[in-house]
Chains A and B, each alone.
Chain A
Amino acid sequence: MNYQGVTFPILLMELHPFLQISSMNTGDPLASDPREGSPTERTGLMSGNQTSNTDRPSYRSSASDSPTMPETSVNANETAVVGDSNSNRRSRRPREERTRPDSASASTGEDEELMYGAKHVIMLFVPVTLCMMVVVATMSSITFYTQEQNTYFVYTPFQDQEAPTGTKLWQSFANAGIILCAVIVMTIVLLMLYKYRCYKVINGWLIVSSVMMLFFFSYMYLEQVMRAYNSPLDYITASLIVWNFGMGGLFCIHWKGPLLLQQAYLIIISALVALTFIRYLPDWTVWTVLGVMVVWDLVAVLCPKGPLRVLVETAQSRNEPIFPALIYSSAMVWIVTMADDGGRSKKKKKQETKDTDNNADEEDDDGGFKEHMANGISGHSLEDSVAARSAFQALGDMTQAQKDSSVHSSCVDPLSYYEKSEPQTNLAFSESNGNIQDEPTMQRQAVPEGAVGGAVAADESDVSVRSAKKKQKKRARPTGEGASAAGGEGEPSGGEQQRERPAVPGASDDASEMEEERGIKLGLGDFIFYSVLVGKASSNGDWNTTLACFVAILIGLCCTLLLLAMFRKALPALPISLTFGLVFNFATSALVQPFMDKLNSEQVYI
């Protein structure tokens, strides 16, 4: 068979080997005691770099129907914001320092975060494990994927299996280099398309590639499974199966479908692509490719001008999800939930503090905000928080008072938002508002499981939606301040909002349409390469190596998630895991396995 055509879409899948967190920080705003310092700073810090989360369907539908419509309306504001943040980056520093004491609270929320972190870790472990299991099971039961073959990707012209080791080595590096170049070119093409808003092209590309994968790969897979189990299947049933599977996948991935089914499809696609990689890449090249991808992932996600980073930032500034077909997200909830209230109040609160500092102009507020977040992310280190805490203690009562007022206002302000965005939820939110102010913990318990991770996401979308809604906010803010000045009691503020609502009709209609994807996001590329590593490790039939790789990858994933919790921005998920995996693979197969064999043959038991 000629697989040259297939490789193009496959490469696309590699484009997103990064981990994106929308919500590691779930630390609900109210988790930490308001008296102890604003809960808020922390989410504020992270929210800046987090994913933008908007509604999948709306993105899709907007892309298919009238791709540019929603954007253009926001466009002017948006660019203004960005430019602003840049220009203000330096000048705003002093103000930022002033608000810094708030971040003392950051350390207080640590425990909750770790707790939620564990949940998120498991939410990612399950799909990654499933994907690897599919691959390993296939590798060990279907010989097609392990046998010697002569067909290879067009990207790997050097495939001399009988050459001496030196030749094989440079050939594998040459192959990996070619693949890397292809990946870079694809990434840049995608980035350019995205930058210039060619959504139709991107969507077409994604659909074509997923059609390829869903139909062609599943057909191949079915064929091999049937052959391996020696069961006669007729063409009619086979085509029915493939047709249904493929169309179901297209519906779920590119339109709407149950979340579970979407996730299942993404996992299956990843597994199929990983199997194809294992099958059609020369033996040595697989390992070099894995090594090269580690470096590429680091560069692409962490460099200031790395393509993936630029992509993420662009998506954030546009408040769009990054191609849903390429990202696995562990959960998805709508924007208007109780949990959001917390996230919002945090951010709000921060704005309030800022506003009290400098109430003068709105543009500055945005710039300062962004800069603040950028700063917080880069400088959110231990020293920082320690310094912040001491500063906080030194400030003492004064800060306390300020904080009290700001907390109140924070609770109030988001409310006015909500009321505008979703009139029918009015009551619920007023109620929750009351709860918040009385007992922060109540609110926390009320947060539904799935939505726990949501605070950040909400924040983020808030950030980006902000540009569109600046005016409304401007009007809304005085309300919050007034309430806080009045002592921040629930009832009065509620009243205020009620009054305020008619004044700004439909202020955030777009927000009400917005669907949030919460939870951690992991690029499909990560799934693919993890599975390639484990699958390849299992291809020589050694379960020790397979398990060692599996554990190493999961540990690497844990470390990455830990870093994610610390840095709160999109991180490459491949480097740590794959490095561990590669080390463990070779160590196990070259050192541990012979050692165990020796022990076995000598009948020594440790």
Chain B
Amino acid sequence: MDLRRVKNAEKLVMCRRYYLAGFFALPFLWIVNSVWFFQEAFRKPQYTEQAEIKTYVIRSFIGSVIWLAIVIVWVTIFQLKRVDWGSTGDALLFSIPHGSA
């Protein structure tokens, strides 16, 4: 998709769908949305759909930042506390590391 060739209404639809889809635990789509539509929202001359696109882009950005923060915090906590949690921590393990001698 080349955004330059897409009609403004179409852009809005795409942006909105990416934004809405992001709520299904899909921060990646929010990241894509905020990067992809950044130019549209902030760098382009004014057009009617732009305000709405702008809100979606901003919200997507905020959402992806929040998600990123959550993930980083969680991973940090998990890595630090994994051993302390005992069997619960082991049960959560996706890949079990082998020890090094």
Contacts and interface: CB of A to CB of B under 8 A. Distances in A.
Given A231-B97, A232-B97, A259 B25 contact: no
A251 B29 contact: yes
A247 B17 CA distance: 13
Most B CB within 10 A of own CB, among A223, A234, A248: A234
A262 B79 CA distance: 33
B42 interface: no
A223 B97 CA distance: 11
Most B CB within 10 A of own CB, among A57, A244, A251: A244
A255 B78 CA distance: 36
Interface string B90-101: 001111111010
Interface string A326-342: 00000011101000000
Given A244-B26, A258-B1, A232 B71 contact: no
Contacts of B74: 236-237
Interface string A220-264: 001100110011111111101001110110010001111101100
Chain A interface bracket (under 10, 10 to 19, 20 to 34, 35 or more) = 20 to 34
A526 B98 CA distance: 38
Contacts of A113: none
Interface string A140-180: 00000000000000000000000000000000000000000
B63 interface: no
Contacts of A459: none
A322 to B, nearest CB: 18
B32 to A, nearest CB: 7
Contacts of B94: 222-223, 226, 232-235, 237-238
B25 A243 contact: yes
A334 B1 contact: no
Interface in A494-515: 515
A259 B5 contact: no
Contact of B5 (A222, A248, A333): A333
A248 B95 contact: no
Interface residues of B, number: 29
A553 B61 CA distance: 42
Contacts of A230: 97-98, 100
A227 B92 CA distance: 15
Contact of B32 (A222, A233, A261): A261
B21 A232 contact: no
A232 B32 contact: no
Nearest to B89: A234
Nearest to B75: A237
Nearest to B27: A244
Contacts of B27: 244
B21 A247 contact: yes
Contacts of B14: 256
Interface in B29-77: 29, 32, 36, 71, 74-75
Nearest to B4: A334
Interface in A31-57: 56-57
A232 B79 contact: yes
Contact of A235 (B2, B93, B97, B100): B93
B19 interface: no
B25 A240 contact: yes
Most B CB within 10 A of own CB, among A251, A255, A515: A251
Contacts of A231: 95, 97
Given A226-B94, A234-B93, A236-B92, A334 B2 contact: yes
| Pairs A-B, 4 closest by C-beta atoms | A334-B5, A226-B95, A244-B28, A238-B94
25 contacts: A222-B94, A223-B94, A226-B95, A232-B82, A232-B96, A232-B97, A233-B93, A237-B71, A238-B94, A244-B25, A244-B27, A244-B29, A247-B21, A247-B24, A247-B28, A247-B29, A248-B28, A248-B29, A251-B29, A257-B1, A257-B36, A258-B1, A258-B36, A261-B32, A336-B5
Given A237-B74, A244-B29, 6 more contacts: A230-B100, A232-B96, A244-B28, A247-B21, A248-B29, A256-B1
